[in-house]
A and B are shown apart, each in its own frame.
Chain A
Amino acid sequence: MAEKRTVELDLATPGLDLEGHPTRVPVGLADREAEPDFSAERMLLNVGPQHPATHGVLRLVVELDGEVVKGVVPHIGYLHSGFEKLGEYRHYNQIIPLTDRTDYLAPMANNVALALAAEQLMGIEITERCKVLRVIACEMSRIISHLVWLGTTAVDIGAFTPFLWTFQEREKIYNLQEAWTGARLTTSLTRVGGMMADIPDGFVEDLADWCRNFPAVLDEVERLLTANAIWCGRTQGIGVISGEDAINCGLSGPMLRASGVAYDIRRDRPYLDYETYDFDIVVGEAGDVYDRYLVRMEEMRQSVRITQQALQRLPDGPLNVSDPRVILPPKTAAMSDMEAMIFHFKQVMEGVPAPVGEVYFSIENGKGELGYYFVSDGTAKPVRWRIRPPSLINLAVLPQLAEGHLLADLIAINASVDIVMGEIDR
């Protein structure tokens, strides 16, 4: 039998209660000092760099008043690898493996962006088939990136199931990516002037199948979250930024569009013939965490639409440009044909020189505007390779978004920014 406990009351006096048990006065209540006043006291809390909710090695020093965030100072650089410096020592094609490792949740889109930037610098026109395949690569990357975002954000806010469902879908699309590129992360899919490889047999059918089935999974996730009272309570009105502020802060991608600014590089500065595809620019209204969620959800559906159109129009024909100074000759030719061997040798040893000049080229990546800025002095290696990392510029707004919210909301806001540290620290 559980021991009967007495209730401690301030007013109780020593004696017996109705059932004959002794009542107790709380020990030392009478001469205890008044509770110290903590209202003016602030706490400095260190979140990360090793914390699952910071999505990588991000460290946030948070100033707290109780549970309310009074200030955030983000510290980055834990993953700094000097990619931009490394790029100055490499041929344009040799830079492509570096881009895999920047935004490692969408490596194929990074490869495409780099190849497009180098091609614009060198004045190379790529083939139609290559264009369409690159669109497919970009949209697959966007979906992968958004799926990871959706799963991890849901976990951060306390819903575990969407994580399992989104990662299952991500696995399927990763299998397709693996069949195409041979890798799940280090894809290095593109080459200047073309692609590393054409799609394998059956890829079109498999991807079309996946495109048919995927929206149903999105619907299921939406059924779990979109009208869920807890989800809405945790995301609506949290981390609001106006469209004007978003532009001033240089935000891009879903962060910008969730604030009501209909700006999408695919439509406003089209590349890869995006203007010929039929898709909608998804725009939010409130600019809060919830709208960023809605925007990304709808963007995945639009990506599926674009992928389906690309699969339908995928033309036959050559994949790479037919310029032996740019594209490596086939291995068999390089081993048997003198001229092909010379081109092979020159490309591998000397690289492809770019004319003197510079180019800034940007694509709409899952995270936002991914820009590459090349400065060339006429050699095969760039003088300067600058990455414009969308997550870095989006993350810079975090202190402003989180101020005045609860610590738990800080985690939700940080998740909604959708950062990837490989790209922020480079």
Chain B
Amino acid sequence: MNPTVDALRHTFGDAVGRAQVSCDQTIVYVEAERAREILRWLKGTAGEHYNYLVDVTAVEYRDTELPLEVVYQLRSLERGAELRVKVELAKDDVLEVDSVVELWRAADWLEREVYDMFGITFRDHPDLRRILMWETYAEGYPLRKDFPLRGRFSRSEQVRQALHANPEAHYSMEELSFAQSQYDLPMEMRERLERGQRGRVPDLPEESDG
């Protein structure tokens, strides 16, 4: 087991949960509330110096009782050590964890992807919006286990939504606010800007029989 785990327990006590080794790789569970603090310590402390954030992702198990996990894969380039830090989020609770973008800029898009695919919110993320799916995507979070492989909506419903989608809605709030200061925006986009919303599914016209 990676000796960092003992150092973590010594420094953070109860905030560090169980640790295990799988395929010679050390996994340590930490409390969600203190995750960022612990990661900052891991990055900045001499002797630990996990300066490289390899990956941020999440795992949901097939067993619905088990909590969701946010997974940080850390590496120290100098020491060659690796550590996988996990944060457990109970499914019946609000799915939130602190963003680590201020520590590693690499986390920016990775956290956006976790948000997009699992619906986990990262507090203090500078630009938390969907990254792979479009902003008005309404079917939920594709990598959650309750999400069917073929999507939630029927194929005809998906096609209908795509045809009625407003391509302009793909602009981010950042782009919209910039465009607002320079040009006259269409009414719908201006409304969206004022609402400060991330976009929404357009109201679909009634399906006609013809």
Task: List residues of chain A with CB under 8 Å of any chain B CB.
Answer: 41-42, 44, 61, 63, 71, 73, 75-77, 80, 82, 84-86, 89, 120-121, 123, 245, 247-251, 261, 263, 268-269, 357-360, 362, 369, 371, 373, 375, 377, 383-384, 386, 388, 392-393, 396-397, 425-426
Contact = CB atoms under 8 A, between A and B. Distances in A.
Contacts of B179: 44
A21 B147 CA distance: 81
B59 A384 contact: yes
Contacts of A362: 54
Given A77-B132, A250-B53, 5 more contacts: A82-B142, A249-B104, A360-B25, A360-B55, A393-B109
B94 interface: no
Nearest to B71: A373
Contacts of A84: 117, 143
B2 interface: no
B142 A371 contact: no
A64 B35 CA distance: 39
Nearest to B170: A75
Nearest to B112: A396
A373 B73 contact: yes
A115 B128 CA distance: 34
B80 A247 contact: no
A358 B57 contact: no
A76 B132 contact: yes
B40 to A, nearest CB: 13
B23 interface: yes
A357 B57 contact: no
A248 B106 contact: yes
Q: Which 4 A-B pairs have the closest CB atoms?
A: A250-B106, A357-B22, A77-B132, A359-B23
A42 B182 CA distance: 7
A383 B62 contact: yes
A85 B149 contact: yes
Given A85-B149, A250-B104, A76 B55 contact: no
B19 to A, nearest CB: 14
A251 B51 CA distance: 12
B61 A61 contact: no
24 contacts: A61-B172, A73-B172, A77-B130, A85-B143, A89-B149, A250-B54, A250-B104, A250-B105, A250-B107, A268-B77, A358-B22, A359-B23, A360-B25, A360-B54, A360-B55, A360-B73, A360-B82, A362-B54, A377-B62, A383-B60, A383-B62, A386-B57, A393-B106, A393-B109
